Amino acid sequence: MAELMNQYNEDSIRSLDWREHIRLRPGMYIGKLGDGSSMDDGIYILIKEVVDNCIDEYTMGHGKRVEVKINDGTVTVRDYGRGIPLGKVVDVVSKINTGAKYDSKAFQKSVGLNGVGTKAVNALSSYFKVAAFREGRTKEAEFEKGVLVKEHKEAATTEPNGTLVTFRPDDSVFRHYHFINEYIENQIWNYCFLNAGLQINFNGRNFISKNGLLDLLQRKTNPETLRYPIIHLKGEDIELAITHTGDYGEDLYSFVNGQHTTQGGTHQAAFREAFVKVVRDFYKKDYDAADVRQSICAAISVRVQEPVFESQTKTKLGSQYVYENGPSMKSFVLEFLAKELDNFLHKNAPVAEALKKRIEQSERERKELSGIRKLANERAKKANLHNKKLRDCRVHLNDDVPTKGKEEYQAKQLDSTIFITEGDSASGSITKSRNVETQAVFSLRGKPLNCFGLTKKVVYENEEFNLLQHALNIEEGMDDLRYNNIVIATDADVDGMHIRLLIMTFFLQFFPDLVRNGHVYILETPLFRVRNKQKTIYCYSDDERKKAIAELGSKPEITRFKGLGEISPEEFAQFIGEDMRKEPVLLSHDAQIQKLLEYYMGKNTPQRQVFIIDNLRVEKDLVEEITA
């Protein structure tokens, strides 16, 4: 047997074609194969790869409008650029290493992948159609899972120039997928902010920006909390928008050649370092870097010649240089800020004074907390966090990447998850059923404190909050976050809902970046189990319960799960595995965190009383219907 397993000969060698390789290793091309509940799930990368090509056309002066439609899981993207050359329509979407972006003169600072993007979309779609329109002629081709099923003959058309792509993600790859409009709208807004004047229509709604990154920060911030008006600076191949707010943390948005680099990279690191240096030089004071960057909200966009990214999905820039034989990224950003920001602060004394006050406020707060932080850190060590409160997993986001198995390790990093739950029975069920490679469990003791309106001092003084921030490793910011997914797992009853709300209040009050950057989720577990001797169906809603009863017939056994502890570990494993249902905690673009928390977590206002009364009737009727 051992000899058979260790055989290595000509029969062991396989050559995969482009389609087979993409379908066998989709994570290499589009990242996570999630169901759409995370903003970085692969189904959104598919949309991005198609739209990226439209943006490349726009940046080269062809077509000012893009249309995106999503209907019942099918995506259609139409641009009005030059259109794919008709004789190459099939090749461009089905032959690897085929495209115009190898010609650096034509696509020197392009967004799309070099000859890979639409091929990946094609291979990972159950249906894919491409049509090109050029000078009154059109050419179409249709595919299924990357296989050409129909190539239409070239024909006359009255359609204006451009390209039309329609695709439906393959549900055998993206299981139970669904699109969340908020994620797509955020993608579209980013395209518009980075390409002022471009108009994108998404499902009938128009998106357009006139002022670039200035508009982005205005959309992301509450004007009432800004410490000074947004600073907007533009230069050749670089644009910056900067302000400070009253919120905790750093809120940074970075882009390269129109690509939202959600994991940052060399350009974002260069900005963080350069901003501190310029501020220190301007005020002639050696401020602590953390004080300078505390509460900053900023966006940086750079254009780089033939950028190098650390992954195929281009979420982290690795380029050390802006141009071939040009300046380093670090010196490029520093030189721009040293001139433009310094000039701005000299010309705008009120802004300079407001920035100084914000930095000094952060300095005072840090010094006031220094003694408390030291004691809190000692308490965390004495509490034996990793045995008492936290059942850790084996993979963390900031571990060194191994030289072998890098692709598999990065996939595990993206899947790293911590479940925050309450009570021994619930944490026990999850602990026994979890995947120890990527899933950790943090157990709360009772209901956490309502921290709305409190200062960060409470994070260190409250044992539960102190241990939670240590488990997440976010005391110094988001850079060292140990888990990509933070999943709140509480019972589906009134107490569970209250605990969930208190945890979300903690994150929004002190660590809003966790929510803004899409790390926080709510775990959905089944409310009912409907079964007979042949089949068991788990139901997440009353509608699903009714359908299950109708399917099984003959009075099946129905169990109503009131708490997570009632679900056995064997069953629980099904609900936190590949088919885990989790809903993201989302903030709308105009959400004002402090006003939101004041409404739901502040004093019992008449407005909230009316809201509760109006919705209490609906919940009462629902309970009566379920128990009938």
- The verdict on residue 463 lying in a domain is yes
In a domain, 611, yes or no: no
Domain closes at, from 178, 207, 236:
207
Domain CATH code at residue 510: 3.40.50.670
Looking at the fold, whether 423 and 567 belong to one and the same domain comes out as yes
Check residue 626 and give its pLDDT.
44
Round to whole Å and give the CA distance between 248 and 265.
Answer: 22
Nearest residue to 425 via CA among 581, 563, 574, 575 = 563
For residues 49 and 519, what is the distance between their CA atoms, to the nearest angstrom? 23
Contact between 523 and 582 (Cβ < 8 Å): yes
Q: What is the DSSP string of 438-469?
A: TEEEEEE-SPPP--TT--THHHHHSHHHHHHH
Identify the domain containing residue 262 by its residue range.
Answer: 213-366
CATH number for 178: 3.30.565.10
Task: Examine the domain organization and report whether 27 and 156 are in the same domain.
Answer: yes
Same-domain pairing of 486 and 458: yes
Question: Which H helix or E strand runs over 338?
Answer: helix 329-347
Give the pLDDT score at 227: 95
My answer on whether 447 and 488 are in the same domain is yes
Whole-structure pTM value: 0.81
Same domain, 303 and 222: yes
Co-location of 141 and 51 in the same domain: yes
For residue 106, what pLDDT is reported?
44
Is 415 inside any structural domain?
yes
Report CA-CA distances (Å) from 353 to 1, 173, 349, 358, 366. 77, 55, 6, 9, 20
CATH number of the domain where residue 260 is located:
3.30.230.10
Same domain, 359 and 395: no
- The reply to whether 111 falls in a domain is yes
Tokens of 520: 């926080």
Considering the domain architecture, whether residues 232 and 361 belong to the same structural domain is answered as yes
Of the residues 159, 186, 207, the one at which a domain ends? 207
Distances (CA, A) of 426 to 9, 164, 382, 421, 484: 51, 50, 25, 7, 22
Read off the pLDDT of residues 230-242 as tens digits, 9 standing for 90 and up: 999 999 999 999 9
Task: Quote the pLDDT of residue 625.
Answer: 47
Beta-carbon contacts of residue 596 (< 8 Å; ≥ 6 apart)? 508
Domain check: are 394 and 362 in the same one?
no
Q: 300: which residues sit within 8 A by CB, 6+ positions away? A: 213, 238, 239, 240, 252, 253, 254, 255, 267, 268, 271, 333
CB 146 within 8 A of CB 116: no
465 in any annotated domain: yes
Question: Count of domains in the chain?
Answer: 3
What whole-number distance in Å separates Cα of residue 180 and Cα of residue 183? 6
Kindly state whether residue 543 falls inside one of the protein's structural domains.
Answer: no
- 3-class DSSP state of 406: helix
Contact criterion met (CB below 8 Å) for 173 and 23: yes
Beta pairing, strands 155-156 & 147-151: unpaired
Are 457 and 352 in a shared domain? no
Residues in the chain, pLDDT under 70: 1-16, 97-116, 311-313, 381-388, 396-412, 589-590, 604-605, 612-613, 615-628
Please state, as a whole number, how many other Cβ atoms lie within 10 Å of the Cβ of residue 60.
15
Predicted pLDDT at 130:
97
Pair 200, 218 in one domain? no
The 8-class DSSP code of residue 84 comes to: -
SS3 state at 582: strand
Residue 97 lies in a domain: yes
Question: Would you say residue 610 lies in a domain?
Answer: no
Run of H or E residues at 366: helix 349-382
Q: Are residues 117 and 25 in the same domain?
A: yes
